[in-house]
Amino acid sequence: MDLLEFGSALKNRRVAQQVSLTDIAAETRINIRFLEAIERGDFHVLPQTYVRAFLREYALIVDLPAEEVMRQYDEILGTPAQATAPHPESSSVRIEASGLSRQQKRVLAVGGGIIVLLAVALFITLQPGSEPMTTPEVSFDRVIRENEAAALRQRPIPAPFVPPVIVDSLRLEIFTTDSVWVSLVADTEAAQEFLFAPNRTRRWMAKERFLLTMGNAGGATFRLNGTDLGALGRRGAVLRNIPITHNTVKPPPVVEQPAP
């Protein structure tokens, strides 16, 4: 038997007893996702410190012998079993009818435990020179809360997605000294046309390049990212499809055409 079959046998027993996972969670205060993991045989997601406590509580609710369940769990893991009295059935989790109800068995178990504790306390009290012994107790509810808090602390918090910011890296400025006509394409956008009077300025932004066509090329100067390019041609000349990119640090060679 492996952990998958072990968990499946526990689930079958629970279904046969007509007990829901919600019932077990409400009675034991065990998180329902841990109960589901037990029935899947997915024990590695459980807090290993409390696995045995979870199994014992589960076994009591579905009316199974807790020690036999623990013995089989230890046998699957290949760890030495806890010292318990031999049980006549060891090949699988025992599923049989019982003369007592689950609630009656729990009452008997709790009553027997209280009687034993009272007997021990009485024995210690009657010993000469003995002092009362106090043992710190940790409730099962507290164990569950601490475990769930630890699980939340260990769960990685995904970093929020931050979309990459694309910034226009080209800044082209024009300064006119005469009337100038300009057609400008920024990256892959549509061409824009401008008619400037003297003593005007304008700025454009792009990511990779500009494509410039203009009339009266000597009637304006340009600056790219703060670097002066000067005039791109002589006064009255026409420039067509002049590329301006990051590598443009001085006026590029142009082919001037006479004004029509």
Whether 116 is in a domain gets the answer: yes
pLDDT given at position 59:
92
Last residue of a domain, one of 154, 181, 213: 154
Whether 219 is in a domain gets the answer: yes
pLDDT tops 90 at residue 127 = no
Last residue of a domain, one of 121, 154, 187: 154
Model pLDDT for residues 20-57, shown as the tens digit of each residue: 999 999 988 999 999 999 999 999 888 888 899 999 99
Average pLDDT, the chain: 78
User: Long-range contacts made by residues 16-19, C-beta under 8 angstroms, separation at least 24?
Assistant: 16/95, 17/62, 17/63, 17/102, 19/61, 19/62
| Count of CB atoms situated within 10 Å of the CB of 165 | 5
Same domain, 150 and 175: no
pLDDT tops 80 at residue 124 = no
Whether 69 is in a domain gets the answer: yes
pLDDT given at position 83:
45
Same domain, 139 and 184: no
Whether 255 is in a domain gets the answer: no
pLDDT given at position 162:
64
Assign 104 a pLDDT band (cuts: 50, 70, 90): low
Whether 15 is in a domain gets the answer: yes
Its domain, for residue 119, covers 3-154
pLDDT given at position 176:
96
Question: Bigger pLDDT: 185 or 134?
Answer: 185
Same domain, 127 and 185: no
Same domain, 139 and 209: no
Same domain, 135 and 184: no
DSSP 3-state percent helix, strand, coil across the chain (nearest 5): 40, 20, 40
Look up the CATH number of the domain holding residue 31: 1.10.260.40
Same domain, 203 and 228: yes
pTM as predicted: 0.35
Q: State the virtual CA torsion across 234, 239, 244, 247 in degrees, nearest 10.
A: -60
Tell me the two tokens of residue 229.
Answer: 């390019």
Assign 68 a pLDDT band (cuts: 50, 70, 90): very high
Same domain, 185 and 137: no
Contact 195, 181 (CB under 8 A): yes
Last residue of a domain, one of 124, 154, 184: 154
Same domain, 32 and 97: yes
Same domain, 183 and 96: no
Please give the radius of gyration of the chain, using alpha carbons only, rounded to the nearest integer: 42
Region 152-165: what's the mean pLDDT? 64
Q: How many domains in the chain?
A: 2
Same domain, 126 and 8: yes
Region 209-223: what's the mean pLDDT? 93
Whether 256 is in a domain gets the answer: no
Same domain, 30 and 127: yes
Q: Kindly report the backbone phi and psi dihedral angles of residue 176, in degrees, each rounded to the nearest multiple of 5, phi listed first.
A: -95, 145
